[in-house]
Amino acid sequence: MVAAFKGCQHLRIGRLTALVAVFLLVLALITATVDAESKVRRPLRRRDPLSAAASVGNSVVRNRLIRPTKKPFGLTTTEISSIDKEETVVVTEPTPFIRRPIGGLRTTTPPAAAATSALVTTTPKSVFQRPSRRPGMRKPGTTGLSSSIHNDNKNNNKNVNIRPVAGSGNADKGYKIVCYFTNWAQYRPKTGKYLPEDIDPHLCTHIIYAFGWMKKGKLSSLEANDESVDGKIGLYERMMALKNINPDLKVLLAIGGWTFGTAKFKEMSATRYARQTFVFSAIPFLRQHGFDGLDLDWEYPKGSDDKRNFVSLLKELREAFEAESQEMKSPRLLLTAAVPVGPDNINGGYDVPAVASYLDFINVMAYDFHGKWENTVGHNAPLFSPSSDSEWRKQLSVDHASNLWVRLGAPREKLIIGMPTYGRSFQLTDTARFRVNEPASGGGVAGVYTREAGFLAYYEICEMLRSGKASYVWDEEMKVPYLIMGDQWVGFDDERAIRNKMSWIKKNNFGGAMVWTLDMDDFTGTVCGNNVKYPLIGAMREELRGVPRPGKDVEWDQEVPTISLSATTLPPPIQISLSDILNKVSTKKPQLLLPTVNNAAPVNGSNAKTICYYTSWSANRPGLGRFTPEDVNVELCTHLVYAFGALKDYRLSLVGGDGAVKQSVDSGNRKPRQRASVAVEGDELDVHARIQTLREKNPDLKIILAIGGWAVGSGPFKELTSNIFRMNQFVYDSTEFLRANNFDGLDIDWEYPRGADDRASFLNLIKELRLAFEGESVTNKVPRLLLTAAVPASPEAIAAGYDVPEVVKYVDFLNVMTYDFHGHWEGQVGHNSPLFPLETAASHQRKLTVDYGAREWVKLGAPAEKIMIGMPTFGRTFTLADLSKFDIGSPASGGGIAGPYTSEAGFLAYYEVCDFLQEDNTTLVWDNEQQVPFAYRDDQWVGFDDERSLRTKVSWLKEQGFGGVMIYSLDMDDFRGHCGSGRYPLLKAVRQELTAENYQVQFVYDGPYERSASSLITGKPAPKDPNVVTCDEEDGHISYHPDKANCAMYYMCEGERKHHMPCPVQLVFNPSQNVCDWPENVPGCETHFTAGTGRR
């Protein structure tokens, strides 16, 4: 019994222990579960960024956020589901589309006729009216990604990932709100007047100032009071004051707009020179006025050329902005663009992936889909298209257009979707028929403040609604409202529509909202109700950035009479008379002028060139050595190279230096250039003006400015080319500088590029210069500036610094410095410029000759006709170490005694050599091997060129087929006739020998920039296809032309723009009356609908 009891006891204890263990295990599991659930659910309990109140009452239903109480969006669960529906983006065949529909008019007045399609059942009125007063009036906004995302539905939006724009210059990870400010809003009357002081600095992430202007291809201001003048603070400066209140605010300047047109953009983007001229005018202009970037509003690029040039423009702007940022160590300027939403406009003018790669963000003009240019009412900016639309017109919605940009390659986070703060109005033909797509007879009555028919600011729309005479209609399909007041019909966006669109933006992961414009919202808060300033933009900020907006939304359906829409059928198409629109229509057929080829026989050769350097410091020489512009014999030179211009702050300049004489040389191939910058600062400009008058004596003389030289060295060129912004700024400043100072070209004397980096930099510099010179010539229709380079003759120096085949593509000719092969920097005497080597010369010495150096350039790829052989008018002197040893190679203790005029040891001008030769006991030697003379007296030795040696070199030059000679320099020849052989004995000998036997240089090089007579352009009209319609302003800004291939179509010309338009169903175009008419009234089109497509 005891044993049994003890067994039971042990059993009970074991069971108890087991129960305790189970209990503890369950408790542990419960604790773990609660802990885990707490961690999982914690994010759902975070505060909504809007406010604590904003998140109260939210409940999760099927992973979607539904507000169970009264919805500020005015949406039911069904409505939200409708918004969330994925819609397939269908791109139909491109149609002729102009600015107006399909979004994004940049002016208060849209362009002309509606887009065309065989499915369109109505014909737009095709009347294009430019917006009143201001160029570029309508413009959409830009996106803004901000750090706080308003998450209406934490579950539904959990996949929303707005990424910062690459290279945007900030770490902003939220939505952008980009707001346009128009500088013509200052002219509106009374309460409509809008100025920078009316802007809430915290309302937008970016403000875009619309618009700047373009003068002579350069960025400039438009309005007289944009810039501060004479102590009066301008709008630019007043706008920048907003950044003192909100340092995070970015302010950009826009250029373009609808009324700005496309011609200036076409011209500016057509060549690299024109683009770079704009680019390097834009950067200082933006920086000077405190702007943070540039917004391009080209409306619109069209065709393959424009498409390519627009990308090039964006690329060059972005590269320059990047380089300028690095150079100046400042935040990079932003680059954005306003773009259309019409499929034809996008496909016809935008390489979307390329465009998106260069822009920080893209302002999609998702408005102006419909307007008074059409003959039926339509909403300005429907989120979705109505079911009553034709298949083509269903493309005209915010949703379809925005997703089209995505389908074509634009990143969603870079797309900033345009939101209008205005409406488009119509006059109804029949007040009983007020639904979308019902007939209209024109634009609605102009507003009191905006003063344009067919257009109303939001505060003007509020006044209509507050008048008690208007009825409010909410269109559930389009998710936007419109109002009706008598025969007035207005499609607009209110707070309910804006909040819907913000929800849609977040759902689709777009980058933010763009506002066109600040000044058309109710900025005073005194018109629309509830004392709310900026009700529409404030709602955008609240939804996208979580910043609560004071006051409640105005629920118009609760405050004004409403109309419920019931299903109805569309009316049949009607005939529209175009003649009612036009007082006068031109049917003149424009004629297109195209370049034609001149078939004249090509020229096989031309006279050889004589390039004469003129040194600026020669004016400082004493007595008879002083050289002035009046001493130049203009008949002896084809080109005069003025040495040297100065490089100041990486810009070309004429004035620089103190005039001190300075000659410096070193081993290798050298040129004795006393100064590397312009010499006489006080008299320099006068000297320059006197040089320019030399053309009066010889109109064919080309005057070129040289920059560089031995004294300048390589350093400044290295610095100049180390930064693309710095280099390109130099290139385009230099182009203007040369033109302003009447030079015919630029000579680059970089002594010397060395190594792979310098080699590439030198090539880039001359390439950019040539591209700029070519572009400037085409743009301004003037002869191109010449581009030359002074280059060494040393094989080692050539190999170290020059990509010869590439270099010769860009230069007009090379001035080869075939002198200074030897000088006082060596320990033995040697000739300055031997034509050939001594027979006993070592291998290295054999390369230091005129013949070897010149042929080395040809061997490495330079065409002979581009090589100018350097001829020195100076000699190199030595002091002999042993009076008994005076031949080439004899030891020397240094340079010879300085001349009385050039004042430098080891160096004598030719007229100083003459004095040396006339001294007693001087011995003159002709070296038959080197084909040059030298002379010595006592311990002084000089190697130089005389008339005989130069004639010999020219004779050799002609045998080799070189392009001419380069004289260094005019001022060291005997320009006064001191030697007894008349003035300029050396130069005259060269010219006589060069022109003997009518020597002609043979041009055989076929480089990318070479021109022959066979490519001359004439202005003869090209044959014209009579069936092709070409638009011309001479026909009138609006003109109409029949489509000879299809009776039911016609062409509407709006200036130079051509739009292919359809007539309504069962009608054909009547060119005699400019109407869409019955087929039986149009000869040639009677059987159009019974026998297929009719042809006239």
Active site residues: 299
Strand, helix or coil for residue 807: helix
CB 352 within 8 A of CB 345: no
Instruction: Tell me the β-bridge partners of 1069.
Output: 1076
Roughly what angle, to the nearest 10 degrees, separates helices 724-740 and 756-780? 40
Residue type, 572: P
Tokens of 468: 């008690």
- Our CA dihedral for 316, 321, 325, 330, rounded to 10 degrees, sits at 170
Strand-pair category, 488-491 with 813-817: unpaired
Whether residue 650 has a cis bond before it, omega within 30° of 0: no
Tokens of 65: 């956020």
Q: Which residues of 140-175 are buried (b: 16+ CB within 10 A; e: fewer)?
A: bbbbbbbeebbbbbbebbeebebebbeebbbebbbb
Question: In this structure, what are the phi and psi dihedrals at residue 1066, rounded to the nearest 5 degrees?
Answer: 75, 10
Residue with tokens 């004479």: 230
CB 1014 within 8 A of CB 1021: no
Closest CA to 436 of 382, 401, 480, 388: 388
Roughly what angle, to the nearest 10 degrees, separates helices 985-995 and 947-960? 30
Separation of alpha carbons 895 and 825, rounded Å: 8
Tokens of 177: 């709100």
CA dihedral for 243, 244, 245, 246, sign (positive or negative): positive
**What would the DSSP string read from start to end of 565-582?**
----PPPPP----GGGT-
Query: What's the chain's Rg over C-alpha atoms?
Result: 40
Separation of alpha carbons 123 and 576, rounded Å: 7
Q: Which residues, other chains included, contact 282 with Cβ-Cβ below 8 Å and sequence gap of 6+?
A: 218, 219, 294, 317
Separation of alpha carbons 63 and 603, rounded Å: 81
Separation of alpha carbons 666 and 711, rounded Å: 11
CB 843 within 8 A of CB 799: no
Question: In this structure, what are the phi and psi dihedrals at residue 529, rounded to the nearest 5 degrees?
Answer: 125, 160
- Our CA dihedral for 600, 601, 604, 610, rounded to 10 degrees, sits at -20
Helices (H), 781-918: 795-801, 804-810, 843-846, 850-859, 910-918
Closest CA to 746 of 779, 702, 788, 780: 788
Q: How many CB atoms lie within 10 A of CB 939?
A: 16
Separation of alpha carbons 553 and 550, rounded Å: 9
Closest CA to 438 of 473, 462, 403: 473
Roughly what angle, to the nearest 10 degrees, separates helices 272-288 and 724-740? 100
Write the DSSP symbol of residue 624.
G
Tokens of 889: 């190679």
